[in-house]
Chains A and B, each alone.
Chain A
Amino acid sequence: MLEPHGDCGPHGAWFALMIFYILRRLLFLPLTLFGISLLIFLMIGFLGPYQRLATFINSPERLKGADVDKLVELYGLNDPLIIQYGRWLKNVLRGNLGWSYVGKEPVLSAILKRFPYTLELTLFAAIPIIFLGTSLGVLAALNHNKPLDHGLRIFAVVGWSFPDFVFGLFVLMIFYGTLGWFPPGNLSVWAEEIVKSPHFRNFTGMLTLDALLNGRFDVFLDALRHLAGPVLTLTYVEFAFLLRITRSSMLEVLRKEYVRTARAKGLDERVVIHKHAKRNALIPVATVSGQTVIGLLAGTVIVETIFNRTGLGSFIALASQQLDYASIMGGSLFFGLILVIGNLCVDLSYALIDPRVRLE
């Protein structure tokens, strides 16, 4: 774990430590991924052999007219768990995650088709969260213990206490059910027809970006309208933590000697705050922002379900409701992979932007 640390030490030594730290983290990456796969497999190990069969079949044709007992035998589902795990892992590494009953296609292609939607939602939510969290955090710190500070604090702690499904239902009730502004789903029916037509090319799988690249501004606006509700929900529920970190980081920096020196020099207060204080205060905020964005991916399970959106989050929720074990395993494995790699990137970039971090 990284923690801010006072003295930097000689530059060369820091560089060597940095290399060592990166190598160590990269070395542990496959180990962690291996651990995740083991954990998920052990959980599924609670199931009987027939339920587990689903995770091996990669198309329903194979079940047609087949003797299920023979299939259980064929896939060795009565073997010791360790052997079964090895076999499953081999399949996973080949990209065979089984047949998704919910998606009516192989699990891997179901996941890859849905992931861009979830990523798009996450990125759109990240913009207001980071912007509001940091700017309101700075504002609160500059008005320390004044009414504005207290007001923001209350606003934030209430947002933090709002479960996303409660706030999401309110948003749906007000902005869809009453005002009709932000409809649920990913696209309106007319826009969906355009996207599915052969003239529309899928570049990224993200609807807004693809619409712009195809020059369909109307589809772009429609996709935005459908994103607004979930983005609003995620923003209010998630921005509080960032506000809090920014505020305390800013307060700490404002008490530092160099800020006092800058003020004593007679520098303009705006220059002191924006050039001296804010830049340093935002360093720890950068990591937390990264972690928040990664955390948002998990938040999509609820939000996508409430707003009836297609995506990885609603996919895994639906798979759990319908006991589609192949999709559950594949989906959670994918979530774990994204999270581990994302966190690694955040930690490494943090170590790079702030030379004061202690590399443990």
Chain B
Amino acid sequence: MREETRKALRRLFSNASGVLGVVLLGLFVIVALFAPLLAPPKPGRDPYFMPVVTWSADPLPPSREHPFGVAGKRDIFYGVVWGTRTAFRIGILVTLASTAIGLFVGSLAGYFGRILDEILMRVTDVFMAIPFLVAAMVLTTVLGTGLDKVMIALIVFSWMYPARLIRGNILQVKEEQFILAAKSLGVSDTLIILRHVLPNAIFPVLIQASMRMGSLVITAAALSFLGLGAPQGYADWGALLNYARNWMLGGYGATFKYWYMIAFPGGAMVLFVLAWNLLGDALRDAFDPRLRW
């Protein structure tokens, strides 16, 4: 490990909010890993679908049997636990895929420049022109329901952010002495990008990926909340919150007794997003002290 990296890691772990972010994420990882123990699924059923536990559509408050209560005939605790897996899956897969595409496009644009750069950047303009949520909504609607469709829609409309970032970094790194030296030695373009340019631009990409993780999970949940993403009954925090919506509009004076319908899935979401934001903040502070806030 390089001296610089080690120093940055030490800075990361001496930062209180960074540590809090890592601890929170650790808790979520544990919940996701031990989901079958925390909320055992019925044998022979797809564990990602929340089983129906009552016949009445009315929500039930927390009890011994259902510690977080019941919403939409389904156990909220079960949904929150298995929803953790859903959140991780969406966040990680979409971030990985969009970052990979972004790295490829951004490297092409930044390294080869000129017309290719101009064209690719105008394409990113177009993809960024429609608001992220609206664009994802349109594509999910067209593709149909299902978590895989949601992920495709999110990837299609989020690769531009890492692409822009990596392009800017490459434009900076490209002028450095060691790149010019490698070029004059006759090293091939691909090798220069892979061995010299990308490693020097990778930390900003990682920081951005961590910051984007939160907004991706929010957008995916927003789609489920609107009834567009996950199929009916799928263990997803946004879908659980969707059950709460109509009860909150039900009329004044009566809604506070349904607090558990928002508090548990909503709390899980906020903490999950907060963990990634804190981690992203701390990573940036550690690796790029100039941007500290």
How many angstroms between the C-alpha atoms of A332 and B131 in the bound complex?
8
**Is residue A306 contacting chain B, with contact meaning CB distance below 8 A?**
yes
**Is residue A31 contacting chain B, with contact meaning CB distance below 8 A?**
yes
Choose, from A100-108, A271-279, A315-323, A349-357, the stretch at the interface: A315-323
Contact flags B239-283 to A (C-beta < 8 A → 1, else 0): 001001100111111111011001000100110011001100100
Asked if A302 and B222 make an inter-chain contact with CB atoms under 8 angstroms apart, the answer reads yes
Q: Which residues of B contact A320 (CB under 8 A)?
A: 137-138, 140-141, 226, 228
Q: Which residues of A contact B287 (CB under 8 A)?
A: none
Across the interface, A339 reaches (CB within 8 A) one of B129, B139, B245, namely: B129
Q: A301-B133, A339-B129, A339-B130 are in contact. Are A47 and B142 (CB under 8 A)?
A: yes
Q: Which residues of A contact B138 (CB under 8 A)?
A: 40, 43, 320, 328-329, 332
Q: Which residues of B contact A336 (CB under 8 A)?
A: 129-130
Q: Which residues of B contact A323 (CB under 8 A)?
A: 141
Instruction: Tell me how far the C-beta of B97 lies from the nearest C-beta in chain A, rounded to whole angstroms.
Output: 18
Contact flags A16-58 to B (C-beta < 8 A → 1, else 0): 0000000000001001100110111001101100000000000
Interface size on B, as a range, is 35 or more
Give chain A interface residues in 308-340, CB to chain B under 8 Å.
Answer: 308, 316-317, 320-321, 323, 325, 328-329, 331-332, 335-336, 339-340
Instruction: Tell me how far the C-beta of B270 lies from the nearest C-beta in chain A, rounded to whole angstroms.
Output: 6
Q: Which residues of A contact B134 (CB under 8 A)?
A: 298, 301, 316, 331-332, 335
Q: A35-B122, A169-B262, A173-B259 are in contact. Are A158 and B270 (CB under 8 A)?
A: yes
Give chain A interface residues in 228-278, CB to chain B under 8 Å.
Answer: 244, 247-248, 251
Across the interface, A166 reaches (CB within 8 A) one of B137, B258, B262, namely: B262
Interface size on A, as a range, is 35 or more
Asked if A173 and B127 make an inter-chain contact with CB atoms under 8 angstroms apart, the answer reads no
- Please, which residue of chain B has its CB at the minimum distance from the CB of A44? B142
**Is residue A197 contacting chain B, with contact meaning CB distance below 8 A?**
no
Across the interface, B256 reaches (CB within 8 A) one of A36, A178, A329, namely: A178
Asked if B143 and A158 make an inter-chain contact with CB atoms under 8 angstroms apart, the answer reads no
How many angstroms between the C-alpha atoms of A31 and B115 in the bound complex?
16
Q: Mostly helix, strand, loop or mixed at chain B's interface?
A: helix
Q: A40-B138, A177-B248, A305-B226 are in contact. Are A163 and B221 (CB under 8 A)?
A: yes
Asked if A177 and B126 make an inter-chain contact with CB atoms under 8 angstroms apart, the answer reads no
Asked if B122 and A28 make an inter-chain contact with CB atoms under 8 angstroms apart, the answer reads yes
Instruction: Tell me how far the C-beta of B232 lies from the nearest C-beta in chain A, rounded to whole angstroms.
Output: 13
Asked if A183 and B252 make an inter-chain contact with CB atoms under 8 angstroms apart, the answer reads yes
Contact flags B206-247 to A (C-beta < 8 A → 1, else 0): 000000001000100110011110000000001001001100
- Please, which residue of chain A has its CB at the minimum distance from the CB of B265? A166
- Please, which residue of chain A has its CB at the minimum distance from the CB of B126? A35
Asked if B248 and A173 make an inter-chain contact with CB atoms under 8 angstroms apart, the answer reads yes
Q: Which residues of B contact A316 (CB under 8 A)?
A: 134, 137
Asked if A165 and B222 make an inter-chain contact with CB atoms under 8 angstroms apart, the answer reads yes
Instruction: Tell me how far the C-beta of A156 lies from the nearest C-beta in chain B, rounded to whole angstroms.
Output: 10
Q: Which residues of A contact B140 (CB under 8 A)?
A: 320
Q: Which residues of A contact B132 (CB under 8 A)?
A: 298
Q: A172-B249, A184-B249, A305-B226 are in contact. Are A163 and B125 (CB under 8 A)?
A: no
Q: Which residues of B contact A340 (CB under 8 A)?
A: 129
Q: A36-B126, A161-B274, A298-B131 are in contact. Are A180 and B141 (CB under 8 A)?
A: no
**Is residue B293 contacting chain A, with contact meaning CB distance below 8 A?**
yes
Instruction: Tell me how far the C-beta of A21 lies from the nearest C-beta in chain B, rounded to whole angstroms.
Output: 15
How many angstroms between the C-alpha atoms of A320 and B135 in the bound complex?
11
Q: Which residues of B contact A31 (CB under 8 A)?
A: 122
**Is residue B194 contacting chain A, with contact meaning CB distance below 8 A?**
no
Asked if A32 and B253 make an inter-chain contact with CB atoms under 8 angstroms apart, the answer reads no
Q: A161-B273, A169-B244, A335-B131 are in contact. Are A35 and B125 (CB under 8 A)?
A: yes
**Is residue A297 contacting chain B, with contact meaning CB distance below 8 A?**
yes
How many angstroms between the C-alpha atoms of A177 and B262 in the bound complex?
13
Across the interface, A176 reaches (CB within 8 A) one of B221, B252, B274, namely: B252
**Is residue A15 contacting chain B, with contact meaning CB distance below 8 A?**
no
- Please, which residue of chain A has its CB at the minimum distance from the CB of B141? A320
**Is residue A170 contacting chain B, with contact meaning CB distance below 8 A?**
yes
Asked if B226 and A163 make an inter-chain contact with CB atoms under 8 angstroms apart, the answer reads no
**Is residue A160 contacting chain B, with contact meaning CB distance below 8 A?**
yes
**Is residue B123 contacting chain A, with contact meaning CB distance below 8 A?**
yes
Q: Which residues of A contact B226 (CB under 8 A)?
A: 301-302, 305, 317, 320-321
Task: From B127, B132, B225, name the one whose CB has the most chain A CB atoms within 10 angstroms.
Answer: B225
Q: Which residues of B contact A40 (CB under 8 A)?
A: 130, 138
Task: From B122, B227, B248, B255, name the one whose CB has the most chain A CB atoms within 10 angstroms.
Answer: B248
Asked if A247 and B248 make an inter-chain contact with CB atoms under 8 angstroms apart, the answer reads no
Give chain A interface residues in 205-226, CB to chain B under 8 Å.
Answer: none
**Is residue A83 contacting chain B, with contact meaning CB distance below 8 A?**
no
Across the interface, A157 reaches (CB within 8 A) one of B131, B248, B281, namely: B281
Instruction: Give me 30 A-to-B residue pairs in the complex whose CB atoms sit less than 8 angstroms apart, sorted by A's number.
Output: A35-B123, A39-B130, A157-B281, A158-B270, A160-B277, A161-B270, A162-B270, A162-B273, A163-B221, A163-B222, A163-B269, A163-B273, A165-B241, A173-B258, A176-B252, A177-B250, A177-B254, A184-B249, A247-B293, A298-B132, A298-B133, A298-B134, A301-B131, A301-B133, A301-B134, A306-B248, A320-B226, A328-B137, A328-B138, A332-B138
Kindly list 4 other residue pairs between chains A and B, CB separation below 8 angstroms, not including A176-B248, A308-B249: A36-B126, A172-B249, A297-B131, A339-B131
Which 3 A-B pairs rank lowest in CB-CB distance, beginning with the nearest? A177-B255, A298-B131, A35-B126
